[in-house]
Amino acid sequence: MSTAFRFPEGFLWGSAMAGHQVEGDNRHSDWWAYEQAGRLPFRSGSACRHLERYEADLDLARELGLNAHRFSIEWARLEPEPGQCDIAALDHYRRMVAAMRTRGLEPIATLHHFVAPAWFTDRGGWLAADAADRFAAHVERVAAALAGEIRWWLTINEPTVYAKHAYVTGDWPPCVHGQWLASLRAMRAMAEAHRRAYAILHTHRADAQVGLAHSTPYVVPADPRRITDRLAARARDYGLNGLLFDLIGRPARRWLDFIGVNYYCRTVVRWAPRGRAVLLGEDDLGPRPGEARRFSDMGWEVWPQGLTEVLRALARHGLPLLITENGIATEDEAVRRAYLAEHLGALAAAVGAGLPVVGYLHWSLIDNYEWALGFGPRFGLFEVDYATQVRRPRATAADYAAVVRANALAT
């Protein structure tokens, strides 16, 4: 007879999305401007037409039995020109939140998910002296309108990932290459913006739950016996996982009610002090003795146990942990099913060990525009046929629904 691991009562089960990746026609955004100018390789265009189709998409979430939904409120729609407020856009999000409520989905709103109004980026983006003021004005506007309807907030999605792509690899707006210091300055500004947003949201709603979504790869040394690899891995782990908390300010509970955890993969680091010396190491993607390595279609290493480990490390902050993203880009459904099953196993292990995990949100409900990689990577529980906009459930969706409905995992 099989036994089952039961998740706590009220555990949040959901899926996650971000506006620009699904809505379509985000015309006043920096991404849109860079896409149209040919500075990005793919155009988001009408994406998944989620702006019009959100009710049907939320029906899909309800059909899976989910009780939470992560989405983003697009700053560029609300404030197309500096200081302007598009009331129709605000009403759109109000309707969308109401649609979540009627379907029993707890709304979890992200206020910045990689995308800003074009004017913000044109004026220096996160490097401008008034960046945090600008963001605070956006948060104030949203909070004044929607804090009554939304309790769970994520101020900013993955500041570390954004800063790297925007100012180091340069493949995301503002497409600046090799500027390590600029990326640090951007992160510092985002940390300040987070603190401002935290205060604003609590002014509007005393019981608000305010966090941010932090990208947390599981970082290990290529050869744990070599001190140089260990040092390189430790430096990388600090840069990717620890630094943000220092920038926000410790203790973390002063500025966070929970930590949003985006977990996808393992990063194996080998000492390599040349070139990008700041990192002191490079990714090791080669074979490892005694280990079969698996990679997603995007080259991210599948490493389920890493989820338990990063949750264990983050638990030291003494805050509730919400998995705000976890999923895989693959065309092979057997691979996706295994990924979900193994990561839910790692989640159950974390909860079973007493770590304070309050929910799990799968990335993503439907296939979508994967930033500079366009529509190629497929992350959805539902497949999207972009020619017809038809959504089709993948086998993984039924697997997920079974766990969610039971609030338990067969072991």
Residue spans of alpha helices (H) in 37-169: 50-63, 75-78, 87-102, 118-122, 131-146, 159-167
- Residue 331 structure tokens: 């065309």
Please report how close the Cβ of residue 371 comes to ligand FCB at its closest, in angstroms: 6
Please report how close the Cβ of residue 162 comes to ligand FCB at its closest, in angstroms: 9
To 10 degrees, the CA torsion angle through 271, 165, 339, 331? -120
Q: Which is nearer to ligand FCB, 121 or 296 (CB)?
A: 296
Please report how close the Cβ of residue 362 comes to ligand FCB at its closest, in angstroms: 11
Q: Which is nearer to ligand FCB, 28 or 362 (CB)?
A: 362
Please report how close the Cβ of residue 10 comes to ligand FCB at its closest, in angstroms: 25
Please report how close the Cβ of residue 15 comes to ligand FCB at its closest, in angstroms: 12
CA distance 209 to 98: 19
Q: Which is nearer to ligand FCB, 32 or 271 (CB)?
A: 32
Q: Do 365 and 64 form a contact (C-beta atoms < 8 A)?
A: no
Helix (H) or strand (E) segment spanning residue 391: strand 390-393
Q: Which is nearer to ligand FCB, 152 or 371 (CB)?
A: 371
- Beta strands at 12-16 and 68-72: parallel, antiparallel or unpaired: parallel
Q: CA-CA distances (angstroms) from residue 318 to 231, 257, 321, 355? A: 26, 10, 9, 10
21: closest CA among 329, 294, 244?
329
12: closest CA among 84, 67, 93, 75?
67
DSSP helix/strand/coil, 266: strand
Please report how close the Cβ of residue 64 comes to ligand FCB at its closest, in angstroms: 19
Q: Which is nearer to ligand FCB, 310 or 351 (CB)?
A: 310
Please report how close the Cβ of residue 91 comes to ligand FCB at its closest, in angstroms: 25
Q: Do 58 and 15 form a contact (C-beta atoms < 8 A)?
A: no
Q: Enumerate binding residues for ligand FCB (CB under 6 A).
A: 18, 21, 157-158, 161, 215, 262, 325, 363, 370-371, 379
Helix (H) or strand (E) segment spanning residue 309: helix 305-314
* 3-state helix/strand/coil string of 161-199: HHHHHHHCCCCCCCCCCCCHHHHHHHHHHHHHHHHHHHH
Q: Which is nearer to ligand FCB, 255 or 371 (CB)?
A: 371
Q: Which is nearer to ligand FCB, 67 or 215 (CB)?
A: 215
Please report how close the Cβ of residue 378 comes to ligand FCB at its closest, in angstroms: 11
Q: Which is nearer to ligand FCB, 282 or 325 (CB)?
A: 325
Q: Which is nearer to ligand FCB, 21 or 308 (CB)?
A: 21
Please report how close the Cβ of residue 290 comes to ligand FCB at its closest, in angstroms: 29
DSSP helix/strand/coil, 341: helix
Please report how close the Cβ of residue 296 comes to ligand FCB at its closest, in angstroms: 9
DSSP helix/strand/coil, 104: coil
Q: What letter would DSSP give residue 300?
A: P
Residue nearest to ligand FCB (CB): 18
Give residue for tokens 């040919």.
38
Q: Which is nearer to ligand FCB, 22 or 137 (CB)?
A: 22
